[in-house]
Structure 1
């Protein structure tokens, strides 16, 4: 609302100013109205050119100084060279409005810049927060997946530890049996060496022993044959001797 009022006031001031300029051009000199000198005409043209520009362009340091100096120059003209009181009043109002609005516009521009910066920061924070929330949910899902994976791995580890325990028992048992087998193997090796030594010794005597065995078998066979002959010879003789030495048996009526 205040901005609209300021704009209307500025427009009214401009219209009144140019109306006074137009009236000064059309008023005859014989009536005693002001006819601007060359320097004043130049100042009026400069003012007219500056007033045709948009307000933000007038805030440029060079234009702002020129506008203020031009208005002050026109306001400070001698009474016989200057404008009428109405025109001067409008020029004074224009100068005051420009000075006031320059300050207000500068402050508003600063507030706008600050607000823009803060809004940009707020937008950046919102974007960061949104990204943070998104990443948090992603991390939450990943953490859940890793937790499930850890549970599976721990269960797998437990089963493997049970298997390892069983395997360790079997390893200890197998190691004990291996030691026992190794000991028995050593004993067999020592016995084998002794048996081989004996065999080697015996193999030297094998031909002689075989010959002795053949001779012994032959001797035994001969003895048995001779004994068989003696049996044939002496059994009948013994039988006769036995029968002759027995007393006669009594007869029974």
Structure 2
């Protein structure tokens, strides 16, 4: 016990401890270059997800299956290095009762498909209700070969040291022209979600455009007022400084007549 306490004290005194891991928002797993305290690591690794084997093989025929339906490659990557992709997180969210995955909470703003933080958000961008409804609508006998989510954009920012998947894994061409496959319910579901995201983006752009129009109108009004004031000043100034060339001779003649009359009255 004393050794464990001393070891924990030494771990806490280390300067290279991962702050994201302490705040339960580190998604780099074993690729993180900072130190993960073992006590917290054991708690984080305590999430032992149960994956449906039938779903990987011939298909799952259980109406209320409580296991995770996920592609085999995502499961293998999770078991290899503990990394959870967004695709796997969506499959886990469909069956889990927790409000987080490995200590990282689900983004509350994203439950309405609108997160103000965007790609800077450090929480899971997974719509839990939508994933559960999506899972409940799966037909009996669904398998990983028939129903697969398309790879979405990463909703938790990837680490700088994260490795990209080889291009051949995602864009490998077939040896011959593939046969036409009708769209699956997953594909329609993903298209609806993408359409909703695009509509939300259009609304935000319209609001930005309206703000820019209001700002432009205000600037035009200010310019118009300044122009009118300058024009009025230019019209008033010449009238005040107008010089009549006949004014001085007339005044001089009048003054001369008065002076002559005054002298005449003295005589």
Higher RCO (C-alpha 8 Å, min separation 6): 2
TM-score w.r.t. structure 1 length?
Answer: 0.32
TM-score w.r.t. structure 2 length?
Answer: 0.30
Structure possessing the higher radius of gyration over alpha carbons = 1
The structure in which a higher percent of residues are helix is: 1
